[in-house]
Structure 1
Amino acid sequence: MPKTVQIRDIDDEVYAGLLRRAAEEGVTVPELLRREAAKLAARPSIAEWLRRTGRRPSEVTTEQVLRNLDEWRGEWPDAGR
């Protein structure tokens, strides 16, 4: 049986964007949101995807990645100025 979902307190800019997108696709805002909700519900969560693929979350932190990139890139050409 279909369910009704109500979203409150949508910013004007967000609603204007939804109106624009719906108009581009030739549908109403509720139809656009219905389609997007169906896509979202069909996608696995990241945790589910990791379980299904047998992958583990990375233990490498963002800080470690950025530090390594900085080391690999070397000094910026204008760093001494």
Structure 2
Amino acid sequence: MPKVMQIRDVPDDVHDALTEAARAEGLSLTRYMLRELEHLARVPQVARENTAAIRRTQEKVQGRADRKAILSVLHEGRGE
């Protein structure tokens, strides 16, 4: 079940910037903030997945891997 969140003491300049960003994308402030929070919540998971991909790549190449090899394994792990 969805939860309700309330954020207190948001500085005026921060509120204004978020409101303007939402307006620029044609979203309500609530919809914009929900999207941003969803993105923020995924960041740790993406970091863990990237770390795992780097380790798998290093194991495959028996040591340090270059950027191309790491990106290849990342894309492979994401099904891209």
Say whether 1:24 aligns with 2:24: yes
The structure richer in helix per residue is 2
Q: CA RMSD in A?
A: 2.3
List 4+ stretches of structure 1 deviating above 2 A.
47-54
Could you tell me which residue of structure 2 aligns to residue 8 of structure 1?
8
Higher relative contact order (CA 8 A, sep 6+): 2
Shift of 1:43: 1.4
DSSP 3-state at the match of 2:20? helix
**Paired-residue identity, %:** 36
Look at both structures and tell me which one has the larger radius of gyration over its CA atoms: 1
Question: Aligned AA for 2:7?
Answer: I
Structure 2 gap ranges (5+):
56-80
For these two proteins, the number of residue pairs brought into alignment is 55
CA distance in 2, matches of 1:50, 1:23: 33
CA distance in 2, matches of 1:4, 1:20: 23
TM-score by length of 2: 0.56
